[in-house]
Copies of this chain bind each other. A is one copy, B any other.
Amino acid sequence: MSAQHDFYGVISPVLTPFGEAGSPDADRFLAHSKWLLADGCTGLAPFGTTGEANSLGVEERMRLLEALVSGGIDPKLLMPGTGLCALSDTVTVTRHAVEQGCGGVMTLPPFYYKAVSDDGLFAYYSELIERVGDDRLRIYLYHIPPVAQVGLSVDLVGRLIKAYPDTVVGLKDSSGDWSNTKVLLDAYPGFTVFPGSEIFLLDGMRNGAAGCITATGNVNARMIRNVYDNWQTDQADDLQAEITAVRMAIQARPMIPMLKAIVAHFNNDPGWLKLRAPFLQMDSAEAKAGIEELTQQFGFELKAA
Protein backbone atom coordinates (compact mmCIF):
# COMPACT_ATOMS: atom_id res chain seq x y z
CA MET A 1 0.00 0.00 0.00
CA SER A 2 1.48 3.32 -1.04
CA ALA A 3 1.69 6.13 1.46
CA GLN A 4 -1.18 8.51 0.84
CA HIS A 5 -2.15 11.81 2.30
CA ASP A 6 -4.64 11.50 5.13
CA PHE A 7 -7.25 14.21 4.94
CA TYR A 8 -8.16 16.08 8.12
CA GLY A 9 -9.09 19.57 9.26
CA VAL A 10 -11.05 22.07 7.21
CA ILE A 11 -11.66 21.08 3.65
CA SER A 12 -13.50 23.39 1.32
CA PRO A 13 -15.35 22.44 -1.78
CA VAL A 14 -14.30 24.99 -4.37
CA LEU A 15 -16.74 27.36 -6.02
CA THR A 16 -16.52 27.13 -9.80
CA PRO A 17 -16.29 30.48 -11.60
CA PHE A 18 -17.67 30.83 -15.12
CA GLY A 19 -16.39 33.15 -17.82
CA GLU A 20 -18.28 35.36 -20.19
CA ALA A 21 -19.12 32.55 -22.62
CA GLY A 22 -20.37 30.36 -19.80
CA SER A 23 -17.32 28.11 -19.70
CA PRO A 24 -15.50 27.37 -16.44
CA ASP A 25 -12.84 29.95 -15.70
CA ALA A 26 -9.67 28.02 -14.85
CA ASP A 27 -7.65 31.08 -13.86
CA ARG A 28 -10.10 32.31 -11.22
CA PHE A 29 -10.57 28.70 -10.07
CA LEU A 30 -6.85 28.27 -9.47
CA ALA A 31 -6.45 31.65 -7.79
CA HIS A 32 -9.36 30.98 -5.43
CA SER A 33 -8.05 27.50 -4.63
CA LYS A 34 -4.66 28.90 -3.69
CA TRP A 35 -6.28 31.56 -1.57
CA LEU A 36 -8.35 28.94 0.27
CA LEU A 37 -5.24 26.98 1.20
CA ALA A 38 -3.59 30.21 2.37
CA ASP A 39 -6.69 31.13 4.35
CA GLY A 40 -6.65 27.98 6.47
CA CYS A 41 -8.01 25.11 4.43
CA THR A 42 -6.08 21.88 4.92
CA GLY A 43 -7.46 20.40 1.73
CA LEU A 44 -9.78 21.15 -1.17
CA ALA A 45 -12.70 19.28 -2.65
CA PRO A 46 -13.20 20.66 -6.14
CA PHE A 47 -16.36 19.45 -7.88
CA GLY A 48 -18.62 19.14 -4.88
CA THR A 49 -22.26 20.16 -4.75
CA THR A 50 -21.21 23.72 -3.91
CA GLY A 51 -18.90 23.77 -6.91
CA GLU A 52 -21.86 23.21 -9.23
CA ALA A 53 -20.04 20.01 -10.11
CA ASN A 54 -23.10 18.30 -11.46
CA SER A 55 -23.49 21.18 -13.88
CA LEU A 56 -19.97 20.49 -15.18
CA GLY A 57 -19.29 18.06 -17.99
CA VAL A 58 -16.87 15.18 -17.84
CA GLU A 59 -14.27 16.99 -19.93
CA GLU A 60 -14.69 20.25 -18.03
CA ARG A 61 -13.96 18.55 -14.72
CA MET A 62 -10.80 16.95 -16.02
CA ARG A 63 -9.48 20.15 -17.55
CA LEU A 64 -10.16 22.13 -14.36
CA LEU A 65 -8.41 19.56 -12.21
CA GLU A 66 -5.40 19.66 -14.49
CA ALA A 67 -5.37 23.44 -14.16
CA LEU A 68 -5.08 23.15 -10.37
CA VAL A 69 -2.28 20.61 -10.51
CA SER A 70 -0.31 22.28 -13.27
CA GLY A 71 -0.91 25.59 -11.48
CA GLY A 72 1.10 24.39 -8.51
CA ILE A 73 -1.39 22.99 -6.03
CA ASP A 74 -0.18 19.84 -4.33
CA PRO A 75 -2.52 17.15 -5.69
CA LYS A 76 -2.30 15.25 -2.41
CA LEU A 77 -4.41 18.06 -0.90
CA LEU A 78 -7.13 17.54 -3.52
CA MET A 79 -10.20 15.36 -3.10
CA PRO A 80 -12.16 16.01 -6.31
CA GLY A 81 -15.77 14.93 -6.66
CA THR A 82 -15.96 12.07 -9.13
CA GLY A 83 -19.43 10.60 -8.67
CA LEU A 84 -21.55 10.94 -11.80
CA CYS A 85 -24.70 9.06 -12.70
CA ALA A 86 -23.05 6.70 -15.13
CA LEU A 87 -20.47 4.22 -13.90
CA SER A 88 -18.46 4.63 -17.09
CA ASP A 89 -18.17 8.40 -16.61
CA THR A 90 -17.39 7.91 -12.93
CA VAL A 91 -14.57 5.52 -13.85
CA THR A 92 -13.20 8.04 -16.35
CA VAL A 93 -12.96 10.98 -13.94
CA THR A 94 -11.88 8.83 -10.98
CA ARG A 95 -9.03 7.26 -12.93
CA HIS A 96 -8.03 10.70 -14.14
CA ALA A 97 -7.96 12.01 -10.56
CA VAL A 98 -5.73 9.15 -9.46
CA GLU A 99 -3.41 9.75 -12.41
CA GLN A 100 -3.20 13.41 -11.42
CA GLY A 101 -1.95 12.25 -8.02
CA CYS A 102 -4.96 13.35 -5.99
CA GLY A 103 -4.93 12.34 -2.34
CA GLY A 104 -8.47 11.03 -2.64
CA VAL A 105 -11.77 11.37 -4.45
CA MET A 106 -15.23 12.13 -3.10
CA THR A 107 -17.75 9.93 -4.81
CA LEU A 108 -21.51 10.29 -4.84
CA PRO A 109 -23.64 7.22 -5.40
CA PRO A 110 -25.36 7.15 -8.81
CA PHE A 111 -28.30 9.45 -8.24
CA TYR A 112 -30.73 9.35 -11.17
CA TYR A 113 -32.49 6.09 -10.41
CA LYS A 114 -34.25 6.16 -7.07
CA ALA A 115 -35.02 3.44 -4.55
CA VAL A 116 -32.06 1.37 -5.68
CA SER A 117 -30.87 -1.41 -3.39
CA ASP A 118 -27.81 -1.46 -1.15
CA ASP A 119 -26.67 -4.47 -3.18
CA GLY A 120 -26.89 -2.40 -6.35
CA LEU A 121 -24.92 0.46 -4.81
CA PHE A 122 -22.36 -1.98 -3.45
CA ALA A 123 -22.00 -3.39 -6.97
CA TYR A 124 -21.53 0.13 -8.34
CA TYR A 125 -18.68 1.07 -5.98
CA SER A 126 -17.19 -2.38 -6.30
CA GLU A 127 -17.11 -2.19 -10.08
CA LEU A 128 -15.70 1.34 -9.88
CA ILE A 129 -12.81 0.20 -7.68
CA GLU A 130 -12.08 -2.82 -9.84
CA ARG A 131 -12.25 -0.93 -13.11
CA VAL A 132 -9.97 1.86 -11.89
CA GLY A 133 -7.70 -0.90 -10.60
CA ASP A 134 -5.12 1.33 -8.96
CA ASP A 135 -3.98 0.87 -5.38
CA ARG A 136 -3.43 4.62 -5.05
CA LEU A 137 -7.20 5.13 -5.16
CA ARG A 138 -8.71 6.49 -1.92
CA ILE A 139 -12.47 6.94 -1.92
CA TYR A 140 -14.38 9.22 0.42
CA LEU A 141 -18.05 8.34 0.11
CA TYR A 142 -20.36 11.30 -0.34
CA HIS A 143 -23.64 11.00 1.55
CA ILE A 144 -25.98 13.90 0.72
CA PRO A 145 -29.53 12.58 0.59
CA PRO A 146 -31.20 16.02 0.69
CA VAL A 147 -29.82 16.64 -2.81
CA ALA A 148 -28.85 13.31 -4.35
CA GLN A 149 -31.91 11.61 -2.85
CA VAL A 150 -29.94 8.36 -3.06
CA GLY A 151 -28.01 7.92 0.17
CA LEU A 152 -25.57 5.46 1.70
CA SER A 153 -26.90 3.45 4.61
CA VAL A 154 -24.71 2.81 7.64
CA ASP A 155 -24.83 -0.88 6.79
CA LEU A 156 -23.69 -0.31 3.19
CA VAL A 157 -20.81 1.87 4.40
CA GLY A 158 -19.70 -0.97 6.66
CA ARG A 159 -19.85 -3.51 3.84
CA LEU A 160 -17.71 -1.28 1.63
CA ILE A 161 -15.13 -0.68 4.37
CA LYS A 162 -14.90 -4.41 5.01
CA ALA A 163 -14.53 -5.29 1.33
CA TYR A 164 -12.11 -2.47 0.46
CA PRO A 165 -10.39 -1.37 3.69
CA ASP A 166 -7.47 0.30 1.91
CA THR A 167 -9.65 2.10 -0.63
CA VAL A 168 -12.91 3.12 1.03
CA VAL A 169 -11.31 5.22 3.72
CA GLY A 170 -13.79 7.96 4.57
CA LEU A 171 -17.11 9.70 4.14
CA LYS A 172 -18.53 13.17 3.98
CA ASP A 173 -21.86 13.24 5.75
CA SER A 174 -24.01 16.03 4.32
CA SER A 175 -27.23 14.52 5.59
CA GLY A 176 -27.54 17.46 7.98
CA ASP A 177 -28.42 14.80 10.54
CA TRP A 178 -25.93 14.70 13.38
CA SER A 179 -27.33 11.41 14.65
CA ASN A 180 -26.31 9.74 11.39
CA THR A 181 -22.78 11.16 11.70
CA LYS A 182 -22.59 9.96 15.28
CA VAL A 183 -23.69 6.45 14.34
CA LEU A 184 -21.00 6.28 11.66
CA LEU A 185 -18.31 7.56 14.05
CA ASP A 186 -19.28 5.00 16.66
CA ALA A 187 -19.69 2.13 14.24
CA TYR A 188 -16.44 2.45 12.31
CA PRO A 189 -13.50 3.68 14.40
CA GLY A 190 -10.53 4.51 12.19
CA PHE A 191 -12.79 5.38 9.29
CA THR A 192 -12.44 9.07 8.40
CA VAL A 193 -15.74 10.91 8.83
CA PHE A 194 -16.29 14.55 7.93
CA PRO A 195 -19.53 16.30 8.81
CA GLY A 196 -20.68 18.29 5.78
CA SER A 197 -21.11 21.50 7.75
CA GLU A 198 -19.03 23.35 10.34
CA ILE A 199 -22.14 23.46 12.51
CA PHE A 200 -21.15 19.94 13.56
CA LEU A 201 -17.41 20.55 13.76
CA LEU A 202 -16.95 20.65 17.51
CA ASP A 203 -19.40 17.83 18.15
CA GLY A 204 -17.60 15.92 15.45
CA MET A 205 -14.14 16.47 16.92
CA ARG A 206 -15.34 15.40 20.34
CA ASN A 207 -16.59 12.16 18.80
CA GLY A 208 -13.68 11.25 16.56
CA ALA A 209 -14.40 13.14 13.33
CA ALA A 210 -11.47 14.26 11.21
CA GLY A 211 -12.68 17.85 10.74
CA CYS A 212 -15.32 19.06 8.33
CA ILE A 213 -15.86 19.56 4.62
CA THR A 214 -17.96 22.65 4.26
CA ALA A 215 -19.31 24.96 1.56
CA THR A 216 -18.74 28.05 3.68
CA GLY A 217 -15.05 27.19 3.80
CA ASN A 218 -15.04 29.22 0.58
CA VAL A 219 -15.47 32.40 2.59
CA ASN A 220 -14.84 31.57 6.23
CA ALA A 221 -12.03 29.03 6.35
CA ARG A 222 -9.91 30.97 8.81
CA MET A 223 -12.56 31.09 11.55
CA ILE A 224 -13.51 27.46 10.99
CA ARG A 225 -9.89 26.42 11.13
CA ASN A 226 -9.57 28.24 14.43
CA VAL A 227 -12.22 26.00 15.91
CA TYR A 228 -10.46 22.95 14.52
CA ASP A 229 -7.14 24.06 16.01
CA ASN A 230 -8.65 24.92 19.39
CA TRP A 231 -11.28 22.27 19.87
CA GLN A 232 -9.65 20.97 23.02
CA THR A 233 -9.37 24.42 24.64
CA ASP A 234 -11.75 26.31 26.91
CA GLN A 235 -12.69 28.69 24.12
CA ALA A 236 -13.96 25.91 21.88
CA ASP A 237 -17.68 26.29 22.56
CA ASP A 238 -17.59 30.06 22.10
CA LEU A 239 -15.64 29.78 18.87
CA GLN A 240 -18.05 27.13 17.64
CA ALA A 241 -21.05 29.33 18.46
CA GLU A 242 -19.55 32.09 16.35
CA ILE A 243 -18.95 29.99 13.24
CA THR A 244 -22.39 28.48 13.62
CA ALA A 245 -23.92 31.95 13.66
CA VAL A 246 -22.03 32.97 10.52
CA ARG A 247 -23.07 29.75 8.80
CA MET A 248 -26.71 30.31 9.67
CA ALA A 249 -26.56 33.85 8.31
CA ILE A 250 -25.07 32.65 5.03
CA GLN A 251 -27.38 29.71 4.54
CA ALA A 252 -30.44 31.86 5.23
CA ARG A 253 -30.06 32.80 1.55
CA PRO A 254 -29.48 30.49 -1.44
CA MET A 255 -26.06 29.10 -0.61
CA ILE A 256 -24.15 28.96 -3.88
CA PRO A 257 -25.20 32.37 -5.29
CA MET A 258 -24.62 33.93 -1.85
CA LEU A 259 -21.10 32.48 -1.60
CA LYS A 260 -20.29 33.71 -5.09
CA ALA A 261 -21.63 37.16 -4.26
CA ILE A 262 -19.43 37.29 -1.16
CA VAL A 263 -16.32 36.29 -3.11
CA ALA A 264 -17.18 38.81 -5.85
CA HIS A 265 -17.75 41.60 -3.33
CA PHE A 266 -14.61 41.21 -1.26
CA ASN A 267 -12.43 40.63 -4.31
CA ASN A 268 -14.11 43.48 -6.12
CA ASP A 269 -14.52 41.05 -9.01
CA PRO A 270 -18.02 40.80 -10.52
CA GLY A 271 -16.69 37.97 -12.71
CA TRP A 272 -17.42 35.72 -9.74
CA LEU A 273 -21.16 36.35 -9.78
CA LYS A 274 -22.05 34.06 -12.66
CA LEU A 275 -23.65 30.64 -12.10
CA ARG A 276 -24.46 27.95 -14.60
CA ALA A 277 -28.08 27.04 -15.34
CA PRO A 278 -30.20 25.71 -13.72
CA PHE A 279 -28.82 28.12 -11.12
CA LEU A 280 -29.11 31.84 -11.61
CA GLN A 281 -27.09 34.74 -10.32
CA MET A 282 -28.52 36.25 -7.16
CA ASP A 283 -30.48 39.46 -7.38
CA SER A 284 -28.00 42.24 -6.57
CA ALA A 285 -30.15 43.82 -3.87
CA GLU A 286 -30.50 40.47 -2.11
CA ALA A 287 -26.77 39.88 -2.37
CA LYS A 288 -26.05 43.31 -0.96
CA ALA A 289 -28.41 42.71 1.96
CA GLY A 290 -26.70 39.41 2.73
CA ILE A 291 -23.26 40.94 2.66
CA GLU A 292 -24.31 43.89 4.84
CA GLU A 293 -25.76 41.50 7.38
CA LEU A 294 -22.50 39.59 7.55
CA THR A 295 -20.32 42.66 7.82
CA GLN A 296 -22.49 44.44 10.37
CA GLN A 297 -23.25 41.47 12.60
CA PHE A 298 -19.91 39.69 12.43
CA GLY A 299 -17.41 42.22 11.10
CA PHE A 300 -17.09 39.71 8.31
CA GLU A 301 -14.53 40.23 5.58
CA LEU A 302 -12.37 38.14 3.30
CA LYS A 303 -8.81 38.93 4.16
CA ALA A 304 -6.26 38.73 1.41
CA ALA A 305 -3.91 35.87 2.07
Contacts and interface: CB of A to CB of B under 8 A. Distances in A.
A184 B150 CA distance: 30
A245 interface: no
Contact of A87 (B55, B85, B112, B124): B55
A155 interface: no
A86 B47 CA distance: 12
Interface in A35-90: 49, 54-60, 84-89
A120 B123 CA distance: 35
Say which size band chain A's interface belongs to.
Answer: 35 or more
A114 B150 CA distance: 13
Nearest to A127: B277
Q: How many copies does the complex hold?
A: 2
B110 A277 contact: yes
Contacts of A277: 87, 110, 120-121, 123-124, 126-127
Given A22-B127, A112-B147, A147-B112, A57 B280 contact: no
A111 interface: yes
B57 A279 contact: no
Interface in A191-232: none
B89 A58 contact: yes
* Pairs A-B, 10 closest by C-beta atoms: A54-B112, A57-B88, A120-B278, A124-B277, A123-B277, A116-B278, A57-B89, A54-B85, A57-B86, A124-B278
